[in-house]
Amino acid sequence: MTLNTVEVEKNLASELIKKINEKTAVIGVVGLGYVGLPLAVENAKAGYQVIGFDVHTEKIEKINRGINYIGDVNDEELAELIEANQFIATEDYSLIKNVDAVVICVPTPLDVHKQADTSYVETATKEISNYLHKGMLIVLESTTYPGTTEEVLKPILEQPGLSCGKDFFLAYSPERVDPGNKTFKTSNTPKVVGGMTESCTEVAVTMYKNVLEADIHEVSSPAVAEMEKILENTFRNINIGLANEMAILCNKMGIDVWEVIDAAATKPYGFMPFYPGPGLGGHCIPIDPWYLTWKAREYNYHTKLIESAGEINNAMPEYVINRSMQLLNKKGKALNGSNILVFGVAYKKDIDDYRESPAIPILEMLDEMGANWKVVDPYVNHFELNGSSYTTENDITEQMLKTADLVLIITNHSKLEYKLIAEKANLIFDTRNSFSVDMETKGNYFKL
Ligand SMILES: NC(=O)c1ccc[n+]([C@@H]2O[C@H](COP(=O)([O-])OP(=O)(O)OC[C@H]3O[C@@H](n4cnc5c(N)ncnc54)[C@H](O)[C@@H]3O)[C@@H](O)[C@H]2O)c1
């Protein structure tokens, strides 16, 4: 008796679902960064044998020695999983042949022309396709434009002569991890999953149900899941753009924008507070909307709202410099030659990631204007600026505060000693509303 295509697909899907439910499936995670490492750890904790793949030799060595480098991963948990051989890391893609399901978490940056750069996803997929075997599940988690799973991954994976949905299963499930978030982690954040076929969705959903505590929300296609992720981050980008525009106008009108937002937030429906700041940062909010803008051009559509918000948000570092100049000017000082003590190079509070941080263009402009700057950041020890490496100060001293012409708060890390700063600094420009009201009394404190 020969089986028809649908029966073959169903059989392969049932076999994989059985392996996943019995925890005999081997899970691969490609890209062991902020997204991939926590996910690999969750899979291993759920009882799966996990193989992590990365191209960064130093990361592989660290993991295999049980050394953690991601804030949201528990050091002891990782060490125990490595010790127990439940999780190993490797650069050797040939181990994909032992893997039943693989999740791709590689970077999706923009190129210099603000166009989607899917080259990491393509490279990783090609490596996987070399060892792809029947009955395997591939899930893309990297944030990307709608259509990537179908238009980029599927053709590469089908090259060895295997057919998507029939011989292997393919799905997209966006990662929503919010580094530094104390409440929502990889395991308890609801997950959206969309497969190329019903079986693809079913297999991927089974995997996540076995690993995560959170609800799994199925959608009808990878494109829906890809688009919903971009919607989430575009929603944040645009609302932060609105908050920034309000901040600029409120400053001109002598109104405290933070008080305005707090007042608006008392409305129990129809309003959600977003806050202004020195500019967007991180690997998601400043980047993801441009993936959509880029894709929209293929459909002859101009994403006006996204681009307006982008313009406002991208101009915030320059706005911070202009306000700093005005504040120094009132004290009879120029930015040129002034000592600026910058607090925070990380893109948001209590994390060690400075990718796309607004602190970088701000420091570049301070350099261009001839200011002398020093950075205090208890989370980021070193950072790169224009090809040079800089070391930050971890602690604040009274002397540092007294000798600074301006203290510029870019990142409101909880660990910073705000009381000491308020007491000893000559002039403070706070882009994050970091100080409590009773600290703001000396007349030398200014907010965005
Ligand atoms: N960081 C976040 O907060 C976050 C949240 C949600 C979604 N995302 C998305 O998840 C994806 C990954 O982001 P991240 O922050 O984890 O990035 P990351 O840079 O921290 O990690 C990516 C890892 O992939 C590795 N890598 C690159 N090319 C590879 C290849 N060919 N094979 C194997 N490994 C490779 C890198 O060495 C790195 O370790 C991106 O698409 C991002 O937009 C990130």
Provide the token pair at 25: 């499936």
Mutate-to-test residue for ligand 1 from 29, 30, 35, 126, highest number of ligand atoms within 8 A of CB: 35
pLDDT for 2 equals: 59
**How are the residues of the chain apportioned to helix, strand and coil, as percentages rounded to the nearest 5?**
40, 15, 40
- Nearest 5°: the CA angle 306, 310, 311 is 120
User: Cα separation of 9 and 4, whole Å?
Assistant: 9
Ligand 1 closest atom vs CA 142: 41
Ligand 1 closest atom vs CA 70: 20
Ligand 1 closest atom vs CA 59: 39
Closest CA to 316 of 273, 350, 352, 285: 285
The residue nearest atom 14 of ligand 1, judged by CA position, is: 34
Cα(104) to ligand 1 centroid in Å equals 9
Cα(287) to ligand 1 centroid in Å equals 13
**Residues near 360 by Cβ (< 8 Å), separated by ≥ 6?**
345, 354, 383, 385
Provide the token pair at 357: 């941080």
Phi and psi at residue 18, to the nearest 5°: -60, -45
Cα(311) to ligand 1 centroid in Å equals 26
Ligand 1 neighbours, Cβ below 6 Å, are 30-36, 53-56, 59, 105-108, 120, 123-124, 142-143, 175-177, 179, 283-284
The residue nearest atom 5 of ligand 1, judged by CA position, is: 177
Cα(326) to ligand 1 centroid in Å equals 40
Confirm if 346 and 413 have CB atoms less than 8 A apart.
yes
Cα(118) to ligand 1 centroid in Å equals 12
Beta bridge partners of 339: 372
When computed from its CA atoms, the radius of gyration of the chain, rounded to whole angstroms, is 24
284 catalytically annotated: yes
pLDDT for 77 equals: 95
Phi and psi at residue 252, to the nearest 5°: -65, -35
Confirm if 240 and 292 have CB atoms less than 8 A apart.
no
Cα(108) to ligand 1 centroid in Å equals 7
User: Cα separation of 310 and 57, whole Å?
Assistant: 36
Phi and psi at residue 132, to the nearest 5°: -65, 140
| pLDDT one-digit tens code per residue, 379-434 | 999 999 999 999 999 889 999 999 999 999 999 999 999 999 999 999 999 999 99
Ligand 1 closest atom vs CA 123: 31
Mutate-to-test residue for ligand 1 from 29, 41, 53, 54, highest number of ligand atoms within 8 A of CB: 54
Confirm if 336 and 365 have CB atoms less than 8 A apart.
no
Alpha-helical regions (H) of 50-95: 57-64, 75-83
Residues recorded for the chain = 448
User: Cα separation of 77 and 66, whole Å?
Assistant: 9
| Structural element, H or E, at residue 385 | strand 382-385
Q: Can you list the domains of the chain with their CATH numbers? A: 5-225 (3.40.50.720), 255-447 (3.40.50.720)
Q: How many CB atoms lie within 10 A of CB 210?
A: 18
User: Cα separation of 318 and 339, whole Å?
Assistant: 18
How far is residue 319 from each of residues 167, 277, 354, 371, 434, measured CA to CA in Å? 55, 10, 20, 16, 18
pLDDT for 180 equals: 83
* Residue among 105, 164, 250, 284 flagged as catalytic: 284
The DSSP bridge pattern shows strands 87-90 and 191-195 to be: unpaired
pLDDT for 441 equals: 60
Q: Which residues of the chain have pLDDT under 70?
A: 1-6, 8-9, 437-441
pLDDT for 182 equals: 87
Ligand 1 closest atom vs CA 178: 3
How far is residue 369 from each of residues 66, 83, 179, 364, 373, measured CA to CA in Å? 45, 52, 33, 9, 11
Q: How many CB atoms lie within 10 A of CB 274?
A: 19
The residue nearest atom 23 of ligand 1, judged by CA position, is: 31
Q: Which residue has the tokens 């490596």?
A: 127
